A and B are shown apart, each in its own frame.
Chain A
Amino acid sequence: MTTETLPKQENADSSIGVHVKGYIDRVKGGELGALPAVFGLVILCVVFSVLRPAFLSAVNFANLFTQGAAVAVIAMGLIFVLLLGEIDLSAGFASGVCAAVLAVLLTLQGWPWYLAVLAAMITGAVIGMVLGSLVAKLGIPSFVVTLAAFLAFQGVVLLLVKDGTNISIRDETILAIANKNVPPVAGWAALVVGVAAYAALQFLQARRRVSRGLVATPVAVIAARIVTLAVVAGFAVYVLNLERSRNAAIVSLKGVPIVVPLIVILLIVWTFVLRRTGYGRHIYAVGGNAEAARRAGINVDRIRISAFVICSFMASIGGIIAASRANSVDPNTGGSNVLLFAVGAAVIGGTSLFGGKGRALDAVLGGAVVAVIENGMGLMGYSAGVKFVVTGSVLLLAAGVDALSRKRAAATGRR
């Protein structure tokens, strides 16, 4: 157990070999990170594109994003609750309630879109506040609180949309979110700016650490990360900028769907919050050991409540995206499989159901897996029944991997 290397950390620590070896050790030790999701995504894409070449078309590629957007956004919020080791079963219908609020205000009351969106978001935050307070202050298990809310919100949606009618959305701005695209030039520009900013941040951080004599990420590893980001994002932007219209002469359809930059912005914001702020650190601490967090002077109740607020708030954004994509809100908005898909996305992405482990990126990766399964199976012509069974199995598989990797981590002394 004793290797004498503490304060003077030797330079060998910053070489690539050590970095790679450290990563392999972590994976062997049960910290799988994004590996299962990435592997799953690659395998699924290969299988579907072999069986159904249409899967690879530009149209379908754009579809994947708009299909998966709402689920990924809801999952991103869920990750905060999952990080605490809690669960929010009502996130799906919370998004439905917020979408219904939006639709009622927009279409029936004639509010401008920004006020309606604001009202929907506030609705989400208030829902989270109530759920979080019940869990943190009263001490009702989150499973029960949110199961009750799941039922109740289902009813609230029904009441809001007047028993089964559906409210169509005609506001151009709201409809644009899931149905319109960013001009191709803007897509490329955003890509270049984004990759450059990422590269600059990474190199500046490394230089700062080296100048202070701390162990920094090796340049080669940073370069690899930047190249990966540039290639993956560049490929996505390229494909999305291809002409997707069947008849380009009449109406041109190309560019990155507006939901994509929206998701990227949310991803950056929440990643920043989780990794760089004291608040994010406290979320992990409460999820890892609530008692230790309490003794360290962290207000555990406030962290709990805030996580539920973030979760329901993100659900409201998911609801708005769903409303935009469906052009309407009906009693089933946010219902049926939305919650299952969102939890599945988070867990498949690598967020632990036991709390303390997870990243905002997990929601996007897992959301992509879920979207690919749903989309690919739809193309294969399977019935909804088969899709449900398969998605359920995938969720179970992901939860199994989570539990097993946790066991493995315990066996290797990492937990």
Chain B
Amino acid sequence: MSQGPILELRGINKSFGPVQVLHDVAFSAYPGEVTALVGDNGAGKSTLVKCIGGIHPIDSGEYFFEGERVQVHGPRDAAALGVEIVYQDLALCDNLDIVQNMFLGRERRSGLVLDEDTMEEMAAKTLAGLSVRTVKSLRQHVSSLSGGQRQTVAIAKAVLWNSKVVILDEPTAALGVAQTAQVLELVRRLADKGLAVVLISHNMNDVFAVSDRIAALYLGRMAAQVKASEVTHSQVVELITSGRSGELGLRNGNGAAS
């Protein structure tokens, strides 16, 4: 638990044209822990995640992985490091089955031909390792799955690649109570397996249920990154809504400097 962060960002800036979305953001994620990334709509959570995942190039700032400075120019670079993102809209292909989706873009081949059997075995093993028991057949199309099952497949897809950091963008947003519980349980299991998990969520109950650390973004600035055990519900809400809470947070309410 006391080891250093596996993923660390320092001084990240990102603009879209005239709009600066991220100001000098620092962020770290630790192996074996769930780090919740919270913030109001438009605070820059998704942008930060897309920068981590290489979807958006960063304008300036430093990206450290396992203590080494790295350059991430695209999704493949991030994937090569072991960073996987599970998007809010899941990014699954409805017309493909579970195995095909889990291996999309990284299919196993033997020669020219796809090695379907090995892929199916690996997919089954991964799902079993996550104690997932809710899908009937690995060869059913993703279109026939429920929301929770799709979320599970998306998460399993991220885990399959021996990834070290898994980032989940609002995994429970569209789910019912029972399915939310299942997914949160899965999130906790990922961290217990030694992965660094980053959980983006709006739901404070979810955040406090599973996370070890909480990072709050406010208007594109990192207001605070604290241990979940050291803050209360209302402090986090204050950090989200005003960027500060007592001693914590940005020194200036408008977040001019931190």
A7, A212, A293, A297: the one within 8 Å of B76 (CB):
A297
Please list the residues of chain B having a beta carbon within 8 angstroms of any beta carbon in chain A: 55, 74-76, 79, 85, 87, 89-96, 100, 104-107, 109, 112-114, 117, 120-121, 124-125, 127-128, 132-139, 141, 143-144, 146, 148-149
A131–B100 CA distance with the chains assembled, in angstroms = 29
Point out the residues of chain B lying under 8 angstroms from A277, CB to CB. Answer: 112-114
Q: Which residue of B lies closest to A275 (CB)?
A: B114
Point out the residues of chain B lying under 8 angstroms from A298, CB to CB. Answer: 104-105
A7, A9, A293, A415: the one within 8 Å of B94 (CB):
A415
Whether the pair B91, A296 counts as a contact (CB closer than 8 A) is yes
Taking the complex as formed, is A409 at the interface, i.e. its CB lies under 8 A from any CB of chain B?
yes
**A297 → B minimal CB distance (Å):** 4
**A291 → B minimal CB distance (Å):** 6
Whether the pair B124, A6 counts as a contact (CB closer than 8 A) is yes
Point out the residues of chain A lying under 8 angstroms from B135, CB to CB. Answer: 6
Q: Which residue of B lies closest to A13 (CB)?
A: B137
A409–B85 CA distance with the chains assembled, in angstroms = 29
Point out the residues of chain B lying under 8 angstroms from A288, CB to CB. Answer: 93-96
Q: A288-B93, A296-B104 are in contact. Are A276 and B117 (CB under 8 A)?
A: no
Which A-B residue pairs are the 4 nearest by beta carbons? Answer: A296-B105, A288-B93, A288-B95, A356-B95
Point out the residues of chain B lying under 8 angstroms from A289, CB to CB. Answer: 91-94
B85, B96, B107: the one within 8 Å of A278 (CB):
B107
Q: Give 12 new A-B contacts, CB below 8 A, not counting A2-B133, A291-B89.
A: A6-B138, A9-B137, A214-B120, A215-B139, A278-B107, A282-B105, A284-B96, A289-B92, A296-B91, A409-B143, A413-B146, A414-B143
A409–B94 CA distance with the chains assembled, in angstroms = 11
**A245 → B minimal CB distance (Å):** 44
**B76 → A minimal CB distance (Å):** 5
A25–B12 CA distance with the chains assembled, in angstroms = 52
**A211 → B minimal CB distance (Å):** 9
Taking the complex as formed, is A325 at the interface, i.e. its CB lies under 8 A from any CB of chain B?
no
A235–B113 CA distance with the chains assembled, in angstroms = 32
Point out the residues of chain A lying under 8 angstroms from B92, CB to CB. Answer: 289, 292
Point out the residues of chain A lying under 8 angstroms from B133, CB to CB. Answer: 2, 4-6
Whether the pair B121, A297 counts as a contact (CB closer than 8 A) is no
B74, B79, B114, B128: the one within 8 Å of A281 (CB):
B114
Q: Which residues, 285 to 317 on A, are CB-close (under 8 Å) to B?
A: 285, 287-289, 291-293, 295-298
22 pairs, A vs B, C-beta closer than 8 Å: A1-B134, A6-B127, A9-B138, A13-B137, A208-B117, A209-B117, A212-B117, A277-B113, A277-B114, A281-B107, A288-B94, A288-B96, A289-B91, A291-B89, A292-B92, A293-B105, A295-B85, A295-B91, A296-B104, A297-B106, A298-B105, A409-B143
Point out the residues of chain B lying under 8 angstroms from A9, CB to CB. Answer: 137-138
Q: Which residues, 355 to 399 on A, are CB-close (under 8 Å) to B?
A: 356-357
A209, A215, A296, A357: the one within 8 Å of B137 (CB):
A215
Whether the pair A214, B105 counts as a contact (CB closer than 8 A) is no
| Interface of chain B: mostly helix, strand, loop or mixed | loop
Q: A208-B117, A212-B121, A414-B141 are in contact. Are A6 and B128 (CB under 8 A)?
A: yes
Kindly name the residue among A209, A292, A409 whose own CB sees the greatest number of chain B CB atoms within 10 A: A292
A5–B105 CA distance with the chains assembled, in angstroms = 27
Kindly name the residue among A6, A13, A29, A282 whose own CB sees the greatest number of chain B CB atoms within 10 A: A6
Taking the complex as formed, is A109 at the interface, i.e. its CB lies under 8 A from any CB of chain B?
no
Q: Which residue of B lies closest to A18 (CB)?
A: B137
Point out the residues of chain A lying under 8 angstroms from B94, CB to CB. Answer: 288-289, 356, 415
Q: Which residue of A lies closest to B132 (CB)?
A: A6
Point out the residues of chain A lying under 8 angstroms from B105, CB to CB. Answer: 282, 285, 293, 296-298
Contact with B along A4-17 (1 / 0, CB 8 A): 11110100010000
Q: Which residues, 1 to 40 on A, are CB-close (under 8 Å) to B?
A: 1-7, 9, 13, 29
Kindly name the residue among B89, B104, B107, B109 whose own CB sees the greatest number of chain A CB atoms within 10 A: B104
Whether the pair A413, B113 counts as a contact (CB closer than 8 A) is no
Point out the residues of chain A lying under 8 angstroms from B112, CB to CB. Answer: 276-277
Point out the residues of chain A lying under 8 angstroms from B144, CB to CB. Answer: 29, 413-414
Whether the pair A7, B124 counts as a contact (CB closer than 8 A) is yes
A292–B85 CA distance with the chains assembled, in angstroms = 12
Whether the pair A293, B104 counts as a contact (CB closer than 8 A) is yes
A257–B105 CA distance with the chains assembled, in angstroms = 41
Whether the pair B125, A296 counts as a contact (CB closer than 8 A) is no
A242–B110 CA distance with the chains assembled, in angstroms = 44
Point out the residues of chain B lying under 8 angstroms from A285, CB to CB. Answer: 93, 96, 100, 104-105
Q: Which residue of A lies closest to B113 (CB)?
A: A276
Contact with B along A310-337 (1 / 0, CB 8 A): 0000000000000000000000000000
A13, A276, A296, A415: the one within 8 Å of B143 (CB):
A415
